[in-house]
């Protein structure tokens, strides 16, 4: 490649980088209601204090790096252009030889040290602010237990156990409501990351990690398990529904209720029992008390099934009951080998659990 081609290509890449950063700038997406899904996860559109602090330190680091890039690249470009080979050059003698220069040595050691110190201090301060938060407002306690490949949710003060779809109230300036989370794991290491709300945190067996979020804008925020925890690690999706305090209280009151028992779906409930679904799943108010799989008491209040692998509609539920290994190969629910009649009965029953 000729040098002009290299130059055009580099400039093109730099322009692309800027376009990317501009597209990712905060404010380009603003959720309106709690059901508005932020489909593109974006650390440059933070919602709430911990994510905002992280964004500040990220932008500072990027700007410093951009400054270094421009300074070094500029000097390099200057040297390449200004001292390029000319036809009038005398090739027979050596250029003047310079040995050591205190000014230059200082210039390339002192500023880099200062830059590293500034970035280290800014990062350390951010880590401190996020790991030892001073909450103002009454925090909502939420314990999240990672399972292969789904999330168990416990709201101890509300005595709620739910799964996969995290509901939290929005924080207004006048009434902040930080969510004080305890992250744990029932099996292997998992990672919790909802980029708009905070950075990543680990969930490890036999150790509780503290984490928090404080969303300040309504919306549904998506996240992922960030640790390769097994075959379906990529389908262990996190959904945080940030709703008004009133809607949150309504949701919580619903979750506290025992399951619906519609006499019309009695056959389905019996089939559920007879096929030992209850050894892995709990349905509040019935004999089913398993904790290996997600709580199904209010299964129909969730928008997705299989921790986000598919929308929670009739066709997908049917496919799941026929064989969960089709929709989510490698997941921890075995093919229960239900007959088509059992599938229909159980489906009719599960679809009343709202
Ligand atoms: C060996 C334990 C086990 C048994 C038995 C079992 N399941 Fe599951 N089930 C699971 C696990 C684990 C998951 C979570 C799978 C995932 O998302 O990775 C699950 C998920 C589900 C889901 C999706 C829940 C959600 O919110 O995503 C439904 C519905 C379900 N099971 C119904 C049943 C029915 C009906 C039966 C009986 C025919 C049954 N399960 C038997 C372990 C079990
Ligand atoms: Cu995981």
- CATH 2.60.40.420 in the chain, residues? 28-78+106-256, 263-350
143 beta partners? 154, 182
Sign of the CA dihedral with 296 first, then 299, 302, and 308 last? positive
For domain 263-350, the CATH superfamily is Cupredoxins -  blue copper proteins (2.60.40.420)
Distance from the CA of 214 to the center of ligand 2, in angstroms? 23
Distance from the CA of 186 to the center of ligand 2, in angstroms? 11
Closest C-alpha residue for ligand 1 atom 6: 277
**Cβ-count burial 326-340 (b if 16+ within 10 Å, e if not):** ebbeebbbeeeebee
pTM: 0.86
Count other C-beta atoms under 10 Å from residue 201's C-beta: 19
Q: Looking at the CA of 147, name the nearest ligand.
A: 2
d(CA 295, CA 145): 13
Q: Measured from the CB, is residue 163 less than 6 Å from ligand 1?
A: yes
Closest C-alpha residue for ligand 1 atom 40: 277
pLDDT in tens, 274-303: 999 999 999 999 999 999 999 999 999 999
Q: Is the pLDDT of residue 323 over 90?
A: yes
pLDDT in tens, 68-86: 999 999 999 999 999 998 8
Higher pLDDT, 91 or 335: 335
* Confidence band, pLDDT 50/70/90 cuts, at residue 5: low
* Amino acid 96: pLDDT: 84
d(CA 185, CA 190): 7
Residues with CB under 5 A from ligand 2 (ion): 190, 225, 229, 233, 236
Mean per-residue pLDDT of the chain: 91
Q: Is the pLDDT of residue 116 over 90?
A: yes
Distance from the CA of 252 to the center of ligand 1, in angstroms? 23
* Amino acid 26: pLDDT: 45
**Residues near 321 by Cβ (< 8 Å), separated by ≥ 6?**
336, 338, 343, 346, 347
Distances (CA, A) of 93 to 88, 89, 90: 13, 10, 7
Distance from the CA of 230 to the center of ligand 2, in angstroms? 7
For residue 225, count CB atoms less than 10 angstroms from its CB and return exposed for 0-12, middle for 13-18, buried for 19 or more: buried
Q: Measured from the CB, is residue 350 less than 6 Å from ligand 1?
A: yes
* Amino acid 20: pLDDT: 56
* Amino acid 208: pLDDT: 96
Q: Measured from the CB, is residue 299 less than 6 Å from ligand 1?
A: yes
Paired sense of beta strands 237-243 and 304-305, if any: unpaired
* Amino acid 18: pLDDT: 57
Q: Spelled out in words, what is the top-level CATH class assigned to the domain 28-78+106-256?
A: mainly beta
d(CA 221, CA 194): 7
**Residues near 229 by Cβ (< 8 Å), separated by ≥ 6?**
146, 148, 149, 187, 188, 189, 190, 236
Closest C-alpha residue for ligand 1 atom 22: 306
pLDDT in tens, 142-188: 999 999 999 999 999 999 999 999 999 999 988 999 999 999 999 99
Distance from the CA of 280 to the center of ligand 1, in angstroms? 7
pLDDT in tens, 200-226: 999 999 999 999 999 999 999 999 999
Q: Measured from the CB, is residue 292 less than 6 Å from ligand 1?
A: yes
Distance from the CA of 207 to the center of ligand 1, in angstroms? 26
Q: Measured from the CB, is residue 334 less than 6 Å from ligand 1?
A: yes
């Amino acid at each position: 490649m000729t040098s002009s081609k290299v130059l055009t290509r580099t400039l093109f890449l730099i322009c692309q980088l800027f376009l990317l950063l501009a597209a990712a700038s905060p404010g380009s997406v603003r959720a309106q209601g709690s059901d508005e899904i932020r489909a593109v996860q974006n650390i440059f559109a933070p919602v709430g204090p911990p994510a905002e602090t992280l964004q500040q330190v990220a932008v500072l680091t990027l700007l410093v790096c951009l400054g270094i890039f421009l300074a070094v690249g500029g000097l390099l470009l200057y040297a390449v252009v200004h001292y390029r080979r000319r036809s009038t050059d005398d090739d027979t003698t050596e250029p003047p030889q310079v040995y050591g220069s205190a000014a230059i040595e200082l210039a390339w050691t002192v500023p880099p040290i200062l830059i590293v110190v500034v970035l280290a201090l800014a990062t350390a301060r951010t880590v401190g602010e996020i790991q030892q938060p001073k909450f103002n407002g009454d925090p909502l306690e939420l314990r999240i237990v990672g399972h292969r490949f789904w999330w168990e949710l416990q709201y101890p003060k509300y005595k709620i156990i739910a799964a996969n779809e995290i509901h939290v109230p929005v924080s207004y300036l006048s009434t902040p409501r930080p969510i004080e989370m305890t992250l744990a794991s029932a099996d292997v290491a998992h990672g919790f990351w909802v980029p708009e709300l905070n950075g990543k945190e680990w969930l490890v067996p036999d150790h509780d990690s503290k984490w928090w979020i404080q969303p300040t804008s309504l919306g549904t925020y998506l996240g992922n398990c960030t640790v390769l925890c097994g075959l379906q690690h990529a389908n262990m999706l996190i959904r945080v529904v940030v709703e008004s305090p009133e809607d949150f209280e309504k949701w919580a009151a619903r979750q506290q209720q025992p399951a619906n028992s519609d006499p019309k779906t009695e056959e389905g409930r019996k089939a559920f029992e007879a096929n030992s679904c209850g050894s892995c799943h709990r349905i509040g108010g019935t004999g089913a008390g398993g904790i290996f799989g997600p709580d199904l008491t209010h299964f129909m209040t969730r928008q997705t099934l299989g921790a986000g692998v598919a929308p929670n509609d009739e066709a997908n539920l049917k496919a799941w009951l026929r064989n969960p290994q089709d929709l989510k190969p490698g997941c921890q629910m075995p093919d229960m080998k239900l007959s088509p009649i059992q599938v229909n009965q159980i489906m009719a029953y599960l679809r009343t659990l709202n």
